[in-house]
Amino acid sequence: FGVGKTTIMKIINNQLLKETQKFNIVIWIIVSKEMNIYKIQSGISLKMGVTLPKNEDETIRAGMLYEMLTQKGRYVLILDDLWDKLSLEEVGIPQPSNGSKLVVTTRMLDVCRYLGCREIRMPTLPKQDAWSLFLEKVGRDVLNYPDLLPIVESVVEQCAGLPLAIVTVASSMKGITNVHEWRNALNELSRCVRGVTGLDEKVLQQLQFSYDHLNDERVQHCFLCCALYPEDHNISEFNLIKLWIA
C-alpha cells in the first residue's frame, strides 16, 4: 500500500470531469474496508444527485440504481480501494459496455480477477522520481551539504520507491542538516528493514520510523487521533484540534 493508487485515481477523476464530452457521468467513490453493498449503493446514488429509498432492501435498491445508471448512458465508475469481491449485479451496476468504464483499485489481486477487470500492477517509483519526490519533501537545502548527499541517497533507497514511505520519511527529516542525525536515521531505517520481506511490511517500518520521530509523546497521541477517521476521509483541521483539546 501507499504506492499511489488513490492519487492516480484522483487525477483521472479530475481529468475526466474536465473532458465532459466523452462520458455522461463520472463517479468516484472510496470503498475501503468497512464497506457493504448498501453503502456503495448510497455512495453512487449520492454522486448522481439522487437518493435511493433508505428502507428498501439491497435488491430493490440495486434494481433502481441499475435503471438510473442505464438511463445515464455512458458512465465512468471508479471504485477506489476495494477489499472484498464485489458482485456488480448485487449493487446494481450495469456491465460496462458501449463505452462505459469501470475502474477498480485494490490491494488484492483476486478482487480484481473476480470482476474480470484487466489487471494493471502499480509499479513503484523509478529511482530518479523517488529522488525528486524525496528532495521536494525534505527541502532542497540538503543539496548544499555535500557530506550529507550519499547518506540521503541511501535513505531514499530504503524507501524502495514507495511514495508513502518517501513522503513520510522525508517529512520527518525536513530541516535536519546534521550528518550524525542523518546517519542515525539511516541506521534506524536499515535496521528496521532487515528480516522484512514484503513491501507492505516495509512501508509499515517507515511509518514506524516517522512515528518514533514525533519526539513528544503528546504529539504522538495527537497523531493517533487521526486513526479515528475512516481511510481517505478529509480531516477537518478545526474538528481535529477540537478533538485534541477535549
Ligand X SMILES: Nc1ncnc2c1ncn2[C@@H]1O[C@H](COP(=O)(O)OP(=O)(O)OP(=O)(O)O)[C@@H](O)[C@H]1O
CB-nearest residue to Mg ion: 6
Question: Checking phi first, is residue 160 left (phi over 0); if not, alpha (psi -120 to 50) or beta?
Answer: left
The 3-state DSSP class for residue 30 equals: strand
Binding partner of 163, given ligand X, Mg ion, none, CB within 5-8 angstroms per partner class: ligand X
Which residue(s) pair with 75 in the sheet?
25
Shortest distance in whole angstroms from residue 89 CB to Mg ion: 25
Which CB, 133 or 148, lies closer to ligand X?
Answer: 133
Q: At 98, list the grid cell.
A: 458501449
User: Which one of ligand X, Mg ion, none is in contact with 96 (Cβ closer than 5 to 8 A by kind)?
Assistant: none
**Distance in angstroms (rounded) separating the CA atoms of residues 61 and 42:** 9
* Nearest-approach distance from CB 106 to ligand X, in angstroms: 8
Q: Which is nearer to ligand X, 48 or 164 (CB)?
A: 164
Q: Which of residues 133-152 bind ligand X (CB under 6 A)?
A: 133
For residue 104, the cross-strand partners are: 79
**What is the residue-wise DSSP string for 74-134?**
SEEEEEEEE-S---HHHHTPPPP-TT-EEEEEES-HHHHHHTTPPP-PPPPPPHHHHHHHH
Stretch that binds ligand X, among 14-22, 70-78, 161-169, 222-230 (CB under 6 A): 161-169
Does 6 contact ligand X by CB under 6 A?
A: yes
Report the distance separating Cα 167 and Cα 156, nearest Å: 10
Nearest distance in Å: CB 4, ligand X:
3
Q: Across the beta sheet with 25-30, what order do the strands follow?
A: 25-30, 75-82, 101-106
Backbone angles phi, psi at 82, to 5 degrees: -85, 135
In angstroms, give the least distance from the CB of 159 to ligand X: 11
Stretch that binds ligand X, among 2-10, 35-43, 63-71, 204-212 (CB under 6 A): 2-10
Each residue 76-115 as x (binds ligand X by CB under 6 A) or -, in order, gives -----x-------------------------x--------
Residue 2: name its binding partner from ligand X, Mg ion, none (Cβ under 5 to 8 Å by kind).
ligand X
- Tell me if residue 208 falls in helix, strand or coil: helix
Q: Which residues contact ligand X (rule: CB under 6 A)?
A: 1-7, 81, 107, 133, 163-164, 167
